[in-house]
Amino acid sequence: MEHTTPPRLPAGLIRRSRLALTLDEGVRGTATLVCAGPGWGKTALVASWAATRAAAGPIAWLTLDGQHDDPYTFWSDLYLAVQAAGAIPEGLAVPAPDAGESDFRQVLAGALTRRTSPVVIVLDDLHRVTDPRILGGLAGLLRLRQARFVLVTRREADLPLHRLRAAAELTEIRPADLGFRLEEAAELLAHTGRSMPADKLAAIVRRTEGWSAGLRLILDNPEPGRADDVIEDYMLREVLGAQPDEVRRFLLRTSIPDRICGDLAHTLTGERHGQYLLEDLARGNLFVERTGSGRWFRYHPMLRAALRRRVARRWPDAPPRLHLEAARWHDADGGALPALTHAAAAGDWDLVSSVVVRRGLPLFTGADRPQLVEVLTRIPVERLPETAEFAVCAVILGYARGDAAAVPRRIAAARALLDGRDDRTRADVGAALAVLENGTVIRWHGDMPSLLEATTDLLGELSRLSWDQAPSLLQYRAMTLNNKGAALLWSGRFDHADRYLWAAVTAARTADVPFIEINSLALLAQLAFLQGALREAAEHADAAEDAAGRIDAGGRVAVAPAYLARALIETERGREPEAESWLRKALHALGEIPETVQSVTAGLVRVRLMLDRGETAGARTLLGQLRAEAGPPLVAPQIDRMLGLAGAEIRLAAGDPGAVVMAYGSRVVLTPAEQVCLARALLATGNVGAAGELLSRVRAGSDRVSAVAAWILTALAADTQGRSSVSSEALSRALAAAEPDLIRRPFRTFDTNRVMVLAERQQWLTEMRGPVGDGVLGEITGEIPIMTPTPSVGPLSEREVDVLQYLPTVLTAAEIAENLGISVNTVKAHMRSIYRKLGAARRREAVVTARQSGLI
């Protein structure tokens, strides 16, 4: 009986162990469902698994066809299949030749009940059976523990599988599981005796999405045209051939879009039950699947390609018409990119330019920019000067191609073409041009006063428009809020910038323009850094990077300010390698035509790193280059202050405090960082009183980085005056303020030798007060406390005893080294060894323990 034996395995069969393991696991439960469309290798998989598993127990096989939709044929053949597998117990009465279907079903159920071990029953092509009487009886067998079913089918049968799912008794193998992986495709290729570059094979796997039949047909027919022909023939025979005429027509006409839904299908076919048809095709695994949980479906690329080829050959005039209908539907539905794609495919360039004006700018600022630009490059060049709408397309193309210098001229040409047009068109095109000009011209050049004025005016204009006048109104508002926030930030108006940038974040989320949200969060990170709040800056950078990660935009320009904020944060934390790594990421994301202010900010990170390495001359040269390259268009007060601050730090490092006093001494309003620089210069020139007044204001302010610096300078000034208690208290305050934000740079910038001396004395004088300050203090002195001290075996060495005698004093490690005539590193090594042997966590504990032991 050919129906009761597994099919012959095809030559060159690839045995896939991962799926065999799934089947092994599945037959431990009630049922395994292998459900996929034609050509996915369902039967070959189960047959090869059954062939290798025969020794593990009986396997009954029944291949079903149309005649098995009759109860008698189904149950009698199923009985014969179980009998052929040797799974009918001996002595059981055999149904009489004239027995009915109920007799075979009852005898089979009784036979299975009497078994002491389970039997695996494979029902291949179960989709051939639809009779509810058969399926009802089969549902009864599913309740028998002595039977394990493997159901191989193109569509899920009307069986109570939901109960098995809920009880974790159902194992499922679907197309996603059956799809060939790259290593499996390589093994299949090896069986053909041919070779192929790995990247080409990977492209075939992606194109076929692992579909077994398609993969084999392409590998067996390496000539592209031939492969397309045989795949089309397979698809049309296996998928279309079994469908009614109305379904075939539906599939052909709806193959034009990449995605389809019921409403779009109605537009393309006139079929009012399109959604139901799509759902039914998806349930039948006919290479149609739902995308996400919404209304959209997609056709497998191989099916879509075959259908499109058939449409183009049968009805050559149909594709442009169907594309145009799809474009208009998507335009009305708000789908800008598919509307543009279909309009371009239809060759309707007027519709393309209209959609770009009304809906295109959000695409230009987001992840779909490459696809938008690709569509625009297809517009005939001679049409670009014809209308204002086409001129907007020319502006976008010019900027995308790197010709930013020509953008202002093109915007002016577009505005000139609006003369004589109706109010609606002037509003649409005018709003689009204003948004483009703000982002690609004014902000790009860094003219912040002009950007602030332009965005303020544009927000007023947008408030007077309605959604029907400007379909991208919400997106335009989010973009304009973002640009105004940037203008306020780089104008130094931090409070207003904070408010507008948060408004931009909210507006971007509402309007679904994630790149604007990312950029606004990134600018908030830079704002927080400039305010001396490192933790808040890092949190905003985290948020920007997380948002970018969700849409795979980690290398896009929108997130670059967050990377620069990270680099600046790491410089303040004294982590040079990490700062350089973030700087490289920022430069990559900024691209070839970065915003001027971000380009200068990146340069200032490099200046800071060079200065921290002691490369004062190089830092001065680079700073001069930044000023020269920024050019006259840059008008950004905050950038000017940052450049000036970097210059002041360079002068202080070069030993020229007088120049800093001259630069800052006459200014009425100084930022906390500028006040710190001026205080350093005043201290260096002996004006302690004026420096003290500045430092007291900074210490009480909200800029935590500057506050740490002010406390350090206060400690140094007090030490110079011999006020050791004041110096100790100030350094303690600096350490406590630095630790939460991991601030390190000021400790390494201000007279490092004297800071080291103060820190070592502080470590000796300070009682154990928990972890506060330990991190910074230990890094400065090199005396890292032992957090869980355990006494080690062995007495102190002679040199360790010598060092121990100095520990009760207030001498620093450097001073002890000088007295003993050894290096400071040797002294520190002896101190650590002493702590370890005495079981002490720090210097004071070591002294106490040594006295109790009689060592000192």
Q: Express each pLDDT in 69-81 by its tens digit.
A: 999 999 999 999 9
Both 167 and 218 in one domain: the answer is: no
Q: What pLDDT sits at residue 667? A: 87
φ/ψ (deg, to 5) at 171: -105, 135
Per-residue pLDDT for 226 more than 80?
Answer: yes
pTM of structure: 0.77
pLDDT tens-place string over residues 299-313? 999 999 999 999 999
Give me the residues paired with residue 153 across strands. 35
Q: Residue 731 falls within a domain, yes or no?
A: yes
Both 774 and 846 in one domain: the answer is: no
Cβ atoms within 10 Å of 276's Cβ, excluding its own: 11
Q: Residue 716 falls within a domain, yes or no?
A: yes
Q: What is the domain count for the chain? A: 4
φ/ψ (deg, to 5) at 298: -135, 150
Both 809 and 709 in one domain: the answer is: no
Per-residue pLDDT for 724 more than 90?
Answer: no
Read off the pLDDT of each residue in 547-561 and give the average, rounded to a whole number.
93
Read off the pLDDT of each residue in 272-291 and give the average, rounded to a whole number.
91
Read off the pLDDT of each residue in 694-712 and give the average, rounded to a whole number.
94
Q: What CATH number is associated with residue 300?
A: 1.10.10
Confidence of residue 773 (pLDDT cuts 50, 70, 90): very low
Helix (H) and strand (E) counts in the chain: 46, 7
Domain boundary among 323, 346, 369: 346
Distance CA 413, CA 139 (A): 74
Domain boundary among 141, 158, 178: 178
- The H or E element that residue 358 is part of is none
Q: Strand order of the sheet with strand 59-63?
A: 59-63, 119-124, 147-153, 31-35, 170-173
Q: Residue 500 falls within a domain, yes or no?
A: no
Per-residue pLDDT for 596 more than 60?
Answer: yes
Both 662 and 714 in one domain: the answer is: yes
Both 769 and 839 in one domain: the answer is: no
Q: Residue 278 falls within a domain, yes or no?
A: yes
Both 188 and 142 in one domain: the answer is: no
Both 30 and 161 in one domain: the answer is: yes
Both 702 and 763 in one domain: the answer is: yes
Q: What pLDDT sits at residue 482? A: 98
DSSP H helical ranges for 438-513: 443-445, 448-463, 473-490, 494-511
Confidence of residue 386 (pLDDT cuts 50, 70, 90): very high
| Range with the poorest average pLDDT among 3-7, 416-420, 487-491, 712-716 | 3-7
Read off the pLDDT of each residue in 665-669 and give the average, rounded to a whole number.
87
Contacts with 451 (C-beta within 8 Å, 6 or more apart), sequence order? 438, 442, 443, 483, 484, 486, 487
Q: What CATH number is associated with residue 827?
A: 1.10.10.10
Q: What CATH number is associated with residue 707?
A: 1.25.40
**How far from the centroid of its chain's Cα atoms is residue 314's Cα?**
44
| Range with the poorest average pLDDT among 31-40, 148-157, 188-197, 490-499 | 188-197
Q: Residue 651 falls within a domain, yes or no?
A: no
- The H or E element that residue 34 is part of is strand 31-35
Read off the pLDDT of each residue in 615-638 and give the average, rounded to a whole number.
91
Q: What pLDDT sits at residue 93? A: 63
Both 660 and 758 in one domain: the answer is: yes
Q: Residue 53 falls within a domain, yes or no?
A: yes
Distance CA 652, CA 660 (A): 7
Read off the pLDDT of each residue in 586-602 and give the average, rounded to a whole number.
94
Per-residue pLDDT for 67 more than 80?
Answer: yes
Both 254 and 339 in one domain: the answer is: yes
Q: What pLDDT sits at residue 771? A: 43
Q: Is the dihedral of CA 690, 691, 695, 698 positive or negative?
A: positive
Both 167 and 192 in one domain: the answer is: no
Q: What pLDDT sits at residue 657? A: 95
Confidence of residue 560 (pLDDT cuts 50, 70, 90): very high
Distance CA 61, CA 265 (A): 41
Q: Return the structure tokens found at 764.
A: 């000796």
Distance CA 385, CA 387 (A): 6
Q: Residue 680 falls within a domain, yes or no?
A: yes
Confidence of residue 768 (pLDDT cuts 50, 70, 90): very low
113 with 85: CB under 8 angstroms? no
Per-residue pLDDT for 342 more than 90?
Answer: yes
Terminal C-alpha separation, the chain? 101
Average pLDDT, the chain: 90
Q: What CATH number is associated with residue 48?
A: 3.40.50.300
CA count, 13 A, side-chain hemisphere, 117: 7
Read off the pLDDT of each residue in 533-539 and give the average, rounded to a whole number.
96
Residue 844: domain span: 798-852
Domain boundary among 178, 210, 238: 178
Q: Residue 197 falls within a domain, yes or no?
A: yes
Both 203 and 316 in one domain: the answer is: yes
